[in-house]
Structure 1
């Protein structure tokens, strides 16, 4: 009997040891099931190949542990950069911004976006144009409560929290499941009299993001599905929207909204001020990005219209979540796809004739390099609340906002004059009429710019972009109460503007001139060559930002070393001619290629015509 006990004990110990032994299969299962805390622990013990590094960094990233995430993304990029997919650039950049390494984060984000990013200048720019400045205070004295998704509930507030220590742990973050709580708020913005919300609403799964009718008798909220379903290669529990009504002093009639689904998530409901629309965020089929903001009409009979996407003026290929509609119909929401400081930032978009205008980042008095979201507002009192994980976990913050006195604004976007396509990465600069620099901005994905201006003042606004002609507009502000001067800058590419400038199949932009001929073994500029170069001088004076490379090529007669030296001298001679005719040296560079890059690869059997084709000077536009 005793021997059987020891055998059983030995088997149980072995089973426990085997269960704890790290393996790539077990770690990947944990990661696939979104058990990121346990997955990270196991990945840390495994050999850090590319797949492990990706999942390890992601496990920290999804739990807002940006210090560890950025370290492992950094190792991933150092070791495997040539094969890293674009989405890791995006997360790595935001992880760096989360630890306030904005300079390096901008470099990585610039590689992802394919145009330059300057967060420092963007922050300075926002300080001039945001409509409000915020004074922010944390609403609790603890940083570990996991509070977010606050909403107004009469004289109280309702919010989601991880406070229920009796709840089982959620594998994503090893914290309790979310429940709704109600509380009052003190005059200095601190949560008081906190207690769980109705037991009818709170269940064994997640509840969050409640919104209430003004009479307090109807509520909408999130609830996570209590079962996981297989969708494609992923198994997950979707988030759904529910409605409940308050009758006989209790919440009852909890019903799932008909546009929720097991196949995708629908979350963050928000009633419009007139209670005729319900806004929400969803990754349903047809979304532009991972999550978009939608609305449905609420009919008088209690039915709902079809979900309507707010469109690409609001939504991006990344996350847009937590909509809030103010009394004046202004939309506030969180986005990680619009240009920001890192992670989710809070934006506002005003409505013009029922259409939302371009969103404005609320600026660094409220946003950080981490996630800032779930903004709600009492506009008439200038106060409100939001959530942020700026201290490592979700916490609620109260704010007081005051108007930014700098209110005269010039705004617009930059487009190609012919295709009308937006041109992100364009530099837009505002000057006064004495050419004093007022502001400068590299436009983001939406190619839009906003500058602070003064009343009764004349300005010059300039758009500059590589391979495009500069565009200048002059405008004058007034003091008639109009604070926004919308100026769309349309600029034209060199190859559209000039017949002799063409983009070839190799992707390079060439200035096509008659060939420049030199006497045998010579490199001085002959009169007929000067005539051709004078055309180039005129082009470069017409476009003062244009920069070119002069490439001189020879035929294959004579040795390779001799031809290389000869072509170098001819390229330099051409550059000197342009310099003598008023073109700055820093706009040009010259290079001799010798016989190494022939247009016709005929070797030692070239005809005189083929030799003459290979013997050339090319002009490539570099900027």
Structure 2
């Protein structure tokens, strides 16, 4: 279940499903069958995973082929990576890359990025993935492109992330069972992202005092006034054991009281000794009467157990409260040494148990399953929730109330990392999956969301910036927002190639008769919004920014909705300039000898540059304007300049440019002088030569 668990959520609920599954406890590790293990209870990119601290004696660094001379440093980095000790591996890979550029092989760059990716350090993951892409862009796999896109989102680069998700979808079609999203699907997905970004927040969130510098996550309601959660807080002065995935103490379950006024958690103490062990425990759920609990733990009895690949997977355990004390935990019958199970969540009536696993039959890296809780401690056969919920990536941390299923995923459209989603359900099944939006979700991992239906208050975990530790628990309350009629057009302006957000672009709103209605300058994040518009009305948007081509899009409002429109602008080529609103190909002037029309050697060099630009922009069409100085009579100068224009046109066509792309080639003689060298004015040869020129006007791009 590698990466079954978000930064903190996975640690408790399915440490094997998350990045924390590093220590051979990962359920979805590329080095193992799926890298998920009970050792990692939190999301793949978070620090709250369950993992076994012991090394994998069967790890084999020969699986990682190094094309450069293997140094001891690189060998050790691969060894740590194979053992899922990502924090240590990241240090060594970075050291090796900083010491020697010859180490910039595809595999080492990938491992450097992955080591950070699996620990939710998206800044460093993005750094190495970007170098990987720039160096080996034609030789990357769909998975590598997906991770790069994910890291881009994790750094708030949504425009560029969209471009790489399009690339990922195109690459997936080439796989044996791959299906490419069509243009309409891609556009719909991008519109969903825009809607999430522009959705007005209706939650108030607060970081809790109970958080530590390590991972705290997977909160769960326990009675009316307590929360049980997972934490890697080091509560023992003599405890030096560390989980090598992230160099933090192992996870334990804690219980804390809810401060009814502030919603903070106080007086946190360790949960029952019958439940906590020296390895990971996390992600817990309780029966309606609070007498039965299910939780995630490393595959650990009297000793750690491993699968055939040496991985210590995660398992689900059950404990019952007898005479006020929790009993020794027993594992559930559908566990296996060969795959991970974790992140349990009971339905409100206690009759169904939802959980996360990478068991055979999974759709993605980790899926959500459900079993019926039968009498006498029996369970039905696990059932996959299907493609409406599960994607090819990770779904985890389920939570249910009487109306909705909540879960975290990095496979549905989101803001980056794990996002929280909700889906209504009834006797007919699940409805549409909806991203809960900001501020619950961020560009980092957001997971283990729980909510009290009556109070509309709850808790979740996140490794977003501004926290106290790797994964922090946040409280939230749903703000009551009065519904208002809203007809608006909103969007983001980006650079079409890099996907970078473009602040300070001028966006103009026009009606369908091209009458200007409003103007807005984009914010620092490239966003804009036009509000209080007429419903079901057609509009035009124009975007302008210096050194960029103007863009124009048609759109229309809908009844009481925010319509999202992205505008991607193309940067002007260095040889393209705008003079008095007219686009021109900017070359060194094309000079001609006196009274001649042939192309000089210096002119051919400049015209070749022009040909290169027209080749780069295959839809570009131009017109050629040639001019003379005042020497000679007007009629002859008109004739001479026309010959020069035709000569220039002929040269460009001879270099492979279609003749239909040159709309006209006209000589203007001495009609458009650019200096004061008129008839009767004494000018030098150089000054007269300035007027003997050809210019190239861009008519169409």
TM-score by length of 2: 0.56
Offset at residue 33 of structure 1 (A): 0.8
Q: What does residue 125 of structure 1 align with? A: 195
Closer/same/farther in 2, CA of residues 167 and 360 from structure 1, 3 Å limit:
farther
1:315 aligned to which of 378, 381, 390: 390
Matches within 5 A, 1:290-369: 290-328=365-403, 330-369=404-443
Counterpart check, 1:97 vs 2:174:
no
1:214 aligned to which of 267, 288, 293: 288
Counterpart check, 1:172 vs 2:249:
no
Q: Which deviations, in whole Å up to 9, do the C-alpha atoms of 1:594-613 show, x marking residues without a partner? A: xxxxxxxxxxxxxxxxxxxx
Q: What does residue 40 of structure 1 align with? A: 90
Counterpart check, 1:54 vs 2:110:
yes
Contact 1:109 1:117 in 2 (8 A): no
Q: Which deviations, in whole Å up to 9, do the C-alpha atoms of 1:298-319 show, x marking residues without a partner? A: 1133211111111111111000
Q: What does residue 320 of structure 2 align with? A: 245
Offset at residue 110 of structure 1 (A): 3.3
Matches within 5 A, 1:539-578: 571=660
Counterpart check, 1:183 vs 2:256:
yes
2:216 aligned to which of 147, 158, 163: 147
Q: Which deviations, in whole Å up to 9, do the C-alpha atoms of 1:94-117 show, x marking residues without a partner? A: 223223233333333332234768
Provide the C-alpha distance between the structure 1 equivalents of 2:482 and 2:512, rounded to a whole number of angstroms. 23
Contact 1:147 1:159 in 2 (8 A): yes
Matches within 5 A, 1:189-588: 189-226=263-300, 227=304, 229-231=306-308, 234-328=309-403, 330-390=404-464, 391=467, 393-406=470-483, 571=660
Structure 1 stretches of 5 or more lacking a match?
Answer: 1-20, 411-430, 438-452, 462-471, 478-482, 484-546, 551-560, 576-585, 590-623
Q: Which deviations, in whole Å up to 9, do the C-alpha atoms of 1:53-90 show, x marking residues without a partner? A: 11111111111122221111122112122222222222
Contact 2:407 2:421 in 1 (8 A): yes
Q: What does residue 504 of structure 1 align with? A: none
Provide the C-alpha distance between the structure 2 equivalents of 1:434 and 1:265, rounded to a whole number of angstroms. 61
Contact 1:128 1:406 in 2 (8 A): no
Structure 2 stretches of 5 or more lacking a match?
Answer: 1-70, 171-182, 488-509, 518-530, 540-554, 562-617, 622-649, 665-697
SS at match of 2:206: strand
Provide the C-alpha distance between the structure 2 equivalents of 1:407 and 1:316, rounded to a whole number of angstroms. 35
Contact 1:106 1:118 in 2 (8 A): no
Provide the C-alpha distance between the structure 1 equivalents of 2:120 and 2:357, rounded to a whole number of angstroms. 21
Provide the C-alpha distance between the structure 1 equivalents of 2:657 and 2:311, rounded to a whole number of angstroms. 64
Offset at residue 202 of structure 1 (A): 0.3
Contact 1:292 1:309 in 2 (8 A): yes
Provide the C-alpha distance between the structure 2 equivalents of 1:318 and 1:409, rounded to a whole number of angstroms. 35
Offset at residue 459 of structure 1 (A): 7.7
Offset at residue 124 of structure 1 (A): 5.3
Q: Which deviations, in whole Å up to 9, do the C-alpha atoms of 1:9-40 show, x marking residues without a partner? A: xxxxxxxxxxxx84333221210110111111
Provide the C-alpha distance between the structure 2 equivalents of 1:70 and 1:573, rounded to a whole number of angstroms. 44
Contact 2:342 2:355 in 1 (8 A): yes
Provide the C-alpha distance between the structure 2 equivalents of 1:276 and 1:459, rounded to a whole number of angstroms. 50
Offset at residue 44 of structure 1 (A): 2.2
Provide the C-alpha distance between the structure 1 equivalents of 2:476 and 2:511, rounded to a whole number of angstroms. 36
Contact 1:388 1:394 in 2 (8 A): yes
Q: What does residue 8 of structure 1 align with? A: none
Offset at residue 292 of structure 1 (A): 0.9
Closer/same/farther in 2, CA of residues 570 and 458 from structure 1, 3 Å limit:
closer
Closer/same/farther in 2, CA of residues 106 and 258 from structure 1, 3 Å limit:
same
Provide the C-alpha distance between the structure 1 equivalents of 2:212 and 2:145, rounded to a whole number of angstroms. 29
Closer/same/farther in 2, CA of residues 383 and 432 from structure 1, 3 Å limit:
farther
Contact 1:331 1:349 in 2 (8 A): yes
Q: Which structure would you say has the larger RCO, counting Cα contacts within 8 Å and 6 or more residues apart?
A: 2
Closer/same/farther in 2, CA of residues 587 and 385 from structure 1, 3 Å limit:
farther
Contact 1:350 1:356 in 2 (8 A): yes
1:78 aligned to which of 95, 110, 134: 134
Closer/same/farther in 2, CA of residues 237 and 459 from structure 1, 3 Å limit:
farther
1:68 aligned to which of 112, 118, 124: 124
Contact 1:123 1:364 in 2 (8 A): no
Offset at residue 562 of structure 1 (A): 11
CA RMSD of aligned residues (A): 4.2
Q: Which deviations, in whole Å up to 9, do the C-alpha atoms of 1:495-538 show, x marking residues without a partner? A: xxxxxxxxxxxxxxxxxxxxxxxxxxxxxxxxxxxxxxxxxxxx
Provide the C-alpha distance between the structure 1 equivalents of 2:421 and 2:109, rounded to a whole number of angstroms. 33
Contact 1:107 1:117 in 2 (8 A): no
Provide the C-alpha distance between the structure 1 equivalents of 2:95 and 2:298, rounded to a whole number of angstroms. 32
Closer/same/farther in 2, CA of residues 309 and 567 from structure 1, 3 Å limit:
same
Provide the C-alpha distance between the structure 1 equivalents of 2:354 and 2:244, rounded to a whole number of angstroms. 29
